[in-house]
Structure formats: structure tokens, C-alpha cells
Amino acid sequence: MLVLGIESSCDETGVALYDSEQGLLADALHSQIELHRIYGGVVPELASRDHIRKTLPLIDVVLERAGRQGTDVDGIAYTAGPGLAGALLVGGSIARALGMAWNVPVLGVHHMEGHLLAPLMSEQRPNFPFVALLVSGGHTPLVAVEGIGRYGLLGASLVEAAGDAFDRVAKMLGLPYPGGRPVARLAERGTPGRFEFPRPMTNRPGLDFSFSGLKTFVLNTVNEHGGQGNLDEQTRADIAYAFQEATVGTLVIKCRRALEQTGFKGLLIAGGVSANTRLRDALEKLVKAERAQLYCPELRFCSDNGAMIAFAGCQRLMDGQHDDLAIQVRPRWNLETLPPVAHVI
């Protein structure tokens, strides 16, 4: 089955063609980072307008790269949520229009399921069941995965997700948006031990996250040393190092608890923050100690992309699932409400 995937949940327009027999045929991605950087964050109206401009041209690019035509497509998957309502509607409207034109089924896909299943496109993919840590901009769920659509939420970000915290701390340190990579690069020059930041919500039972307190701790440290404009370069690096260590340490502690609680021997990480090298190294040490296995997506599939939506949509479309003619987007969408998929990849 040949599936066209469209991702437009936030600030990246992603399109891909996935074939159930041949795998990923082609994909293309347009990032809006430069558009939003001057505002220090995503402006929803600008994001929606840019998706309108970029989606159809990207579809043409992907079809040409794959040597296919629109009439070759057997189904279309688009991100229906969670995300920005206006941005989601752009992808949903285009998907529904093309579905009617090509007379093929259309399906709205859960954005976080796309991230969760992205590592399954790799040669070394996990067997069910496993624990999944999804670390993206607005979400940090820990999920017990027993199959596609068989998800049990173990913990989630209550106030602020890990990706959001990286963005906020980057701003405090005078680094550009988005903050994940700039903070990680600055942390490489940091001095271990100069600052010690708390590991939030690790001194209590449970698997929920909140990085808002850690963010406040960083802000207080910045102010204690003269404020953003008066920090010397080494102090900035030392703060970035301590923040990254605290964030990674918190995620590792919760993942260890999740593995112990479930008894699973597979740990999967996905989402934008899963590209962080320090996090990957720390989780590799964890799974080695727990006699488990770590699974990660290819680096280019860590951030939002069309390939993960095409792949997730393909699994459900092959299972006979599809939407009616209504365009439904869900800015908030519980992962546990998704129907299971009968077949196994």
C-alpha cells in the first residue's frame, strides 16, 4: 500500500511517501524556524499561512523524487492532533481534498503515535512490548506499548515538558530559538559540579514530569550571577551544563522506574529531544544496567516529519481504518483512546 503522509501540527511542514512493501520512498521537510525565531516562539497564524504555501509544492517534490503520480497513491494520512488547530486544519483540508480527487481513503493520525512508531522504520526495531519515552516540545509522556494502538500512559508532563524547558532556558542564556541544540552545544563547554540543579519530582513516587520548577531554578541562578546581560561565557556554559544534566537525570530516573514497574526489556525514545546526545548516552548506560535494549529513531526523524505520519497512517489504513468526509482535528488528543491495530508489523 502506497501512503502519502502530511505533517503540519506546528512549525514544520513534512510530506512523505511510504510503501508497505518497499518502505520509505521519498520525504521532504520545510522548517519554519527562521520565520518564528524573531518572535522567540511559534506564532500560530504565521505557522498556518506558511503550511498553506508549502504543503502542495512539497507533495509535488516528493512524488517526483519517488517517480510516482498522485493517482498511484492508495491512501493519505495527515496529522489530526495534537497541535495548533489552524495548522492541523491546513493539512487536514489538503488531505481530504486530494483524497476526494484521487478517490482514496484518508485518515487523521495522532502526532505522538507518529513519533512513537518512527523508530520502527529502522532496521533495528523493537519487539512489543516496550516502554516509550516521547520527549518533544509540548509533551513528555512515558507509555507502556503492547502493540500499535495498545498504549497505557505511565506518566506525563503535568506543567512543562522537557522540550519547552530547553527553549525557556535558551532564552534566559541569550541563545536562539529553538533551544535544544544551542543549549546542548553550550553545555559541552560547561564545568561539571560548579552548579547542581534539582531533579524535579524524583523525590516522590510516580512517573509524571514537570520541568517548570527546574526552569525557575535556572532563572534564579542567572539572576544571582548578574542577569542574562552580565553572565560571562563560562558561567553561561556551566548553567547550561547543569540544566542539561538535571533534565537528563530526571528522564533517566523515570525511565528506570518505568522499566522496573512494567518488567519490559525494551526502551524506545522519540521526539525532538531524543536527538540529544547526552540523553542517548545516559539511557544507553541505563539499559545496559537493566539488561534491556534502547531503540531510537534516525536523527532526521526525531523532529516532526512526514515520514512518521505516512508510516503510522499506513499501519492503520492497511487495518481498514479510515475517516469519513468530515475534517476532524484534535488540538488535544489522548493517546490511550486510539483503536488497536490487528496486524503486527
pLDDT digits (tens, 9 = 90+) for 77-96: 999 999 999 999 999 999 99
What are the distances in angstroms from CA 301 to CA 216, 241, 316?
31, 25, 20
Distance CA 91, CA 52 (A): 8
At 54, the pLDDT band (50, 70, 90 cuts) reads very high
Greatest pairwise CA separation for the chain in angstroms: 63
CATH number at residue 323: 3.30.420.40
Domain shared by 312 and 245, yes or no: no
pLDDT for the residue 286: 98
Where is the domain boundary, 264, 279, 296?
296
pLDDT digits (tens, 9 = 90+) for 199-253: 999 998 999 999 999 999 999 999 999 998 899 999 999 999 999 999 999 999 9
pLDDT for the residue 192: 97
Domain shared by 159 and 254, yes or no: yes
- Asked if the structure places residue 232 within a domain, the reply is yes
pLDDT for the residue 79: 98
User: Is residue 16 within 8 Å of residue 309, measured between CB atoms?
Assistant: yes
What percent of the chain is modeled with pLDDT above 90? 92
Domain that holds residue 164: 128-296
Q: What is the pTM of this model?
A: 0.95
Domain shared by 139 and 285, yes or no: yes
The average pLDDT across 106-130 equals 94
pLDDT for the residue 225: 95
Distance CA 15, CA 80 (A): 14
pLDDT digits (tens, 9 = 90+) for 249-304: 999 999 999 999 999 999 999 999 999 999 999 999 999 999 999 999 999 999 99
pLDDT digits (tens, 9 = 90+) for 168-193: 999 999 999 999 999 999 999 999 99
Q: Count of domains in the chain?
A: 2
pLDDT for the residue 21: 95
Mean pLDDT, the chain, as a whole number? 95
- Asked if the structure places residue 238 within a domain, the reply is yes
Domain shared by 330 and 208, yes or no: no
- Asked if the structure places residue 30 within a domain, the reply is yes
Domain shared by 192 and 281, yes or no: yes
Domain shared by 156 and 212, yes or no: yes
Edge-first strand listing for the sheet containing 12-19: 23-31, 12-19, 2-7, 75-81, 106-110
pLDDT for the residue 344: 63
pLDDT for the residue 345: 67
Domain shared by 161 and 212, yes or no: yes
User: Is residue 114 within 8 Å of residue 37, measured between CB atoms?
Assistant: no
- Asked if the structure places residue 204 within a domain, the reply is yes
Domain shared by 150 and 278, yes or no: yes
- Asked if the structure places residue 325 within a domain, the reply is yes
- Asked if the structure places residue 342 within a domain, the reply is no
Edge-first strand listing for the sheet containing 293-295: 150-155, 142-147, 130-134, 266-270, 293-295
Please state, as a whole number, how many other Cβ atoms lie within 10 Å of the Cβ of residue 32: 20
Domain shared by 190 and 285, yes or no: yes
Angle subtended at Cα 133 by Cα 127 and Cα 134, rounded to the nearest 5 degrees? 110
At 338, the pLDDT band (50, 70, 90 cuts) reads very high
At 124, the pLDDT band (50, 70, 90 cuts) reads confident
- Asked if the structure places residue 43 within a domain, the reply is yes
Domain shared by 49 and 147, yes or no: no
Domain shared by 267 and 207, yes or no: yes
- Asked if the structure places residue 343 within a domain, the reply is no
User: Is residue 210 within 8 Å of residue 158, measured between CB atoms?
Assistant: yes
Nearest C-alpha neighbor of 113 from the set 92, 85, 141 = 141
Domain shared by 103 and 164, yes or no: no
At 111, the pLDDT band (50, 70, 90 cuts) reads very high
